[in-house]
């Protein structure tokens, strides 16, 4: 099944508008200028810790010529915010930012024309300072005096000219993150902190494994516990609802002890062999697609051939704060409505799945975004929202909060897929790659809600009348792809063939994890480039540059090399390079990693050079690159989902270790500024290059190549021993 993901861009027959303004065309969807001296800005993109609402506020303030303090970014909610699909793919600045820039520029022009009428002047004779329109004769009027909601209740127009970059005074400055003070000082801000009048708490009693079937059900002991209000059950979905959180936790444990499950018997394997994932991936039925292919016009002479296989395991989101949601039903029957508070990255998409799951019109469902722990991908936020809605049906109209446990978060949320990458290259006598083949075996990277005819939510397959389990797909390549993301090299090769094999089975539930397939594909390709260069006796930088025609790619490599300076020397020290342009259409990023290898690999320093075009908030870009690089260090050195043949076993931090604060390297970021170029996202640019740089630094330190992630001491020892 090749299911196209909806992009901001459609509405055939209408003039093209920037970003997601094209499919959310009314200016009033985006902007309200208020008589009290404030401006309300509505975006369909949500804050998940990436600082996007601060950057979007800067764009709005810049184009409207108002102080940043006047901008009020409204939380996203279905029906009240533009439908911008999902906050993902490092597309918020590109899509929502471009839309807001155009919409705010047009709003300014509309208000300026009205101000000109009021002042009896031509618009070109006026200037604007913090929302006050001035004329040389001393007369003035403010946006707030002119405020009228009807002025912006119109479709956006094509051909609007935004403010020239050389006149920016808000965009390009390091504005303080709006979301951080509450988080730093512990003020209530997250969905976990949400407390509605009369709110109940619920916990789900999960099956012991995905295939387990309920044999015996007895809820009497749980219902007899103090504070327990009800037990909600629909097939294998079972939840205890209580007045207080601790009562719900105790009640769920009591109920779980009284349930009897059949895990299909110990002789029935439902999950693959954790220690032989490569064989599993290559043995499954697949959908095979040639993603890109071209042949040399002249037959090249290959003097040497190289071939290698690389892999990564299933990876968890491992958010520090487990997923949480609140839901409330109103009314009954065909008149019932549902409210959901969630940290989902796609509120409209979630609403679509809830509509299917409950067989009710989506217009009767309101989904409101409330911040949660950042996850950068499809974690359990949508699943727990459905859990809350299911439980709330048994709450008599009272709101119900469902909080996942650590075990649920690590054991039941979708994982980033395991991947196997096979590479082959032919090199001519001059040391230039003339043939390149890149093949990927992986589950799809997309089971987000709102993209199929069935709900993709976890508990939808646990109902008395269960929905079919949705097998993960990939985004279309135009949207960045999934497992094939960054499989197409950014280098120029005379002949190349890129093939993607998407598994049509999914024993381990997978979906989008930050950077999707780019993490493994860039790790593989950049490790392979390093291997070939070393075999040919050519420097890592020189070898890349001889194949890289993109001047912006060359510039970030050269900037990283210059900033890194002299490599540390001595036994066990190494330095490596990794480079990629994210998705082939996003940010350019080069990473140099310095490592020290003793009993394990320790990354001591990362130098990252990044080109994101026009920089909205330089501090935000640095934050994103630092965070992405540090997360990639954790993936590359430590993280792997553990499981037996029936269930996930890495459901505690002891079985799923992540990078500790004491292990975080110094991260030095250089922004290669391109103010004359469109802005692109920074959130996912560093993951692949960082992984590759660490792998290459490990080889530089020890002279052994480890091609399977994570780069654990056990794998390093195995490589040393041959």
Helix (H, G, I), strand (E, B) or coil at 611: strand
Is 189 in contact with 179 (CB distance < 8 Å)? yes
Is 159 in contact with 102 (CB distance < 8 Å)? no
Q: What is the pLDDT of residue 1?
A: 31
pLDDT digits (tens, 9 = 90+) for 197-245: 999 999 999 999 999 999 999 999 999 999 999 999 999 999 999 999 9
Which of these, 367, 306, 456, lies nearest to 77 by C-alpha position?
367
Residue 543 has pLDDT above 80, yes or no: yes
Residue 663 has pLDDT above 60, yes or no: yes
Q: What is the pLDDT of residue 5?
A: 36
Q: What is the pLDDT of residue 12?
A: 63
Helix (H, G, I), strand (E, B) or coil at 690: helix
> Which secondary-structure segment (H or E) carries 423?
strand 419-427
Is 367 in contact with 77 (CB distance < 8 Å)? yes
| Average pLDDT score, the chain | 95
* Residue position matching structure tokens 């059949």: 262
Q: Can you spell out the DSSP letters for 303-362?
A: -EEEEEEEEE--B----SS--EEEEEEES-GGG-EEEEEE--S-HHHHHHHHHHHTTS-G
Which of these, 382, 369, 271, 386, lies nearest to 317 by C-alpha position?
382
Residue 8 has pLDDT above 60, yes or no: no
Is 343 in contact with 86 (CB distance < 8 Å)? no
Average pLDDT over residues 24-42: 98
pLDDT digits (tens, 9 = 90+) for 365-374: 999 999 998 7
More confident residue, 265 or 688: 688
Which of these, 136, 700, 87, lies nearest to 372 by C-alpha position?
87
Is 58 in contact with 91 (CB distance < 8 Å)? no
Which of these, 552, 671, 550, lies nearest to 608 by C-alpha position?
671
CATH class of 191-264+319-412: alpha beta
Q: Measure the N-to-C terminal CA separation of the chain; round to a whole number of Å.
A: 42
Model pTM?
0.95
Q: What is the pLDDT of residue 269?
A: 72
Residue 154 has pLDDT above 70, yes or no: yes
Share of residues in the chain with pLDDT > 90 (%): 94
Q: Is residue 575 exposed (0-12), middle (13-18) or buried (19+ Cβ within 10 Å)? A: buried
How far is the C-alpha of 153 from the C-alpha of 156, rounded, in Å? Answer: 9
pLDDT digits (tens, 9 = 90+) for 280-333: 999 999 999 999 999 987 767 999 999 999 999 999 999 999 999 999 999 988
Whole-angstrom CA distances from 336 to 135, 333, 342, 359, 398 are 55, 6, 20, 12, 13
Compute φ and ψ for 499, nearest 5 degrees.
Answer: -125, 135
Helix (H, G, I), strand (E, B) or coil at 279: helix
Residue 2 has pLDDT above 50, yes or no: no
Residue 22 has pLDDT above 90, yes or no: yes
Helix (H, G, I), strand (E, B) or coil at 155: strand
Domain boundaries along the sequence of the chain: 19-179, 191-264+319-412, 419-445+481-721
Residues facing 456 on adjacent strands: none
Q: Are strands 260-262 and 140-142 parallel, antiparallel or unpaired?
A: unpaired
Which of these, 107, 105, 108, 95, lies nearest to 24 by C-alpha position?
95
Torsion over CA of 206, 209, 215 and 218, rounded to 10 degrees? -20
Confidence of residue 583 (pLDDT cuts 50, 70, 90): very high
Q: What is the pLDDT of residue 7?
A: 41
Sheet strands (E) in 111-172: 126-129, 132-135, 140-142
Question: Residue 710, preceding bond cis, omega within 30 degrees?
Answer: yes
Q: Do domains 19-179 and 191-264+319-412 have the same CATH topology?
A: yes
Half-sphere exposure of 41 (CA within 13 A, CB side): 31
Which of these, 480, 477, 490, 489, lies nearest to 424 by C-alpha position?
489
Average pLDDT over residues 119-125: 95
Is 615 in contact with 673 (CB distance < 8 Å)? yes
Q: What is the pLDDT of residue 4?
A: 34
Q: Extract the tokens encoding 351.
A: 């609403």
Q: What is the pLDDT of residue 6?
A: 40
CB atoms within 10 A of CB 53: 24
Average pLDDT over residues 599-615: 97
Q: What is the pLDDT of residue 373?
A: 80
Q: What is the pLDDT of residue 385?
A: 98
pLDDT digits (tens, 9 = 90+) for 675-702: 999 999 999 999 999 999 999 999 999 9
DSSP designation for 533: H
Residue 11 has pLDDT above 80, yes or no: no
Q: What is the pLDDT of residue 52?
A: 94
Is 641 in contact with 314 (CB distance < 8 Å)? yes
The arrangement of secondary structure in 19-179, i.e. its CATH architecture, is: 2-Layer Sandwich (3.30)
- CATH match of 419-445+481-721 with 3.90.380.10: no
Is 105 in contact with 128 (CB distance < 8 Å)? no
């Amino acid at each position: 099944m090749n299911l196209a993901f909806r992009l901001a861009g459609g509405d055939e027959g209408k003039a093209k508008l920037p970003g997601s303004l094209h499919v959310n065309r009314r200016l009033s969807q985006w902007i309200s200028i208020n008589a009290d001296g404030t401006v309300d800005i509505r975006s369909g993109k949500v804050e998940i810790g990436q600082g996007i609402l601060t950057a979007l506020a800067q764009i709005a303030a810049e184009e409207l010529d108002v102080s940043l303090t006047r901008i009020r970014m409204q939380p996203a909610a279905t029906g009240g915010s533009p439908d911008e699909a999902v906050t993902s793919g490092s597309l918020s600045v590109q899509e929502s930012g471009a839309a807001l820039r155009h919409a705010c520029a047009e709003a300014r022009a509309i208000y300026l024309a009205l101000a000109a009428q009021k002042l009896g002047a031509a618009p070109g004779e006026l200037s604007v300072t913090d929302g006050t329109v001035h004329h040389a004769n001393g007369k003035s009027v403010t946006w707030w005096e002119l405020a009228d909601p009807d002025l912006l209740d119109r479709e956006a127009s094509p051909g609007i000219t935004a403010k020239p970059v050389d006149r920016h005074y808000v965009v390009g400055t390091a504005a303080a993150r709006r979301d951080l003070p509450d988080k730093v000082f512990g003020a209530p801000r997250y969905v976990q902190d949400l407390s509605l009048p009369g709110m109940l708490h619920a916990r789900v009693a999960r099956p012991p494994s995905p295939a387990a079937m309920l044999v015996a059900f007895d809820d009497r002991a749980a219902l007899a516990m103090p504070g327990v209000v009800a037990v909600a059950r629909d097939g294998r979905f079972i939840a205890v609802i209580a007045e207080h959180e601790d009562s719900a936790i105790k009640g769920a444990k009591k109920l779980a002890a009284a349930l009897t499950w059949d895990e299909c018997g110990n002789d029935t394997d439902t999950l693959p062999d954790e220690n032989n994932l490569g064989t599993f991936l290559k043995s499954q039925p697949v959908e095979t697609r040639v993603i890109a292919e071209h042949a040399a016009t002249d037959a090249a002479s290959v003097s040497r051939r190289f071939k290698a296989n690389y892999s990564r395991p299933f990876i968890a989101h491992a958010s520090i704060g487990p997923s949480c949601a609140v839901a409330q039903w109103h009314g009954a029957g065909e008149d019932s409505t549902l409210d959901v508070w969630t940290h989902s990255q796609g509120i409209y998409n979630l609403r679509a799945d809830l509509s299917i799951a409950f067989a009710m019109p989506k217009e009767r469902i309101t989904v409101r975004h409330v911040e949660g722990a950042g996850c950068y991908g499809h974690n359990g936020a949508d699943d727990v929202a459905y859990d809350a809605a299911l439980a709330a049906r048994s709450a008599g109209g009272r709101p119900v909060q469902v909080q996942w446990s650590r075990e649920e978060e690590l054991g039941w949320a979708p994982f980033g897929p395991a991947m196997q990458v096979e590479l082959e290259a032919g090199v001519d006598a001059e040391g230039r790659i003339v043939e390149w083949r890149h093949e990927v075996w992986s589950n799809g990277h997309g089971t987000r809600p709102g993209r199929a005819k069935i709900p993709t939510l976890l508990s939808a397959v646990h109902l008395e009348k269960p929905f079919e389990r949705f097998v993960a797909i990939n985004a279309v390549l135009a949207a960045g792809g999934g497992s094939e993301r960054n499989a197409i090299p950014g280098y120029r090769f005379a002949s190349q063939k890129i093939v993607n094999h998407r598994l049509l089975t999914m024993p381990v539930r997978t979906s989008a994890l930050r950077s999707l397939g780019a993490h493994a594909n860039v790790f593989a390709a950049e490790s392979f480039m390093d291997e070939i260069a070393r075999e040919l006796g050519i420097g890592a930088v020189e070898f890349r540059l001889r194949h890289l025609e993109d001047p912006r790619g060359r510039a970030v490599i050269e900037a990283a090399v210059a900033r890194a300076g002299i490599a540390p020397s001595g036994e066990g020290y190494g330095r490596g390079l990794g480079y990629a342009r994210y998705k082939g259409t996003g940010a350019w990023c080069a990473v140099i990693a310095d490592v020290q290898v003793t009993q394990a690999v320790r990354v001591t320093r990362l130098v990252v050079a990044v080109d994101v075009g026009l920089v909205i908030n330089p501090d935000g870009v640095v934050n994103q690159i630092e965070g992405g690089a540090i997360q990639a260090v954790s993936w590359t050195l430590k993280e792997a989902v553990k499981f037996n043949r029936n269930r996930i076993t890495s459901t505690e931090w002891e079985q799923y270790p992540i990078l500790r604060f004491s292990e975080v390297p110094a991260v030095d970021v250089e922004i290669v500024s391109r103010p004359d170029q469109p802005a692109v996202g920074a959130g996912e640019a560093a993951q692949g290059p960082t992984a590759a740089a660490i792998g290459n630094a490990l080889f530089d330190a020890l002279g052994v190549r480890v091609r399977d992630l994570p780069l654990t001491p056990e794998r390093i020892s195995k490589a040393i021993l041959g």
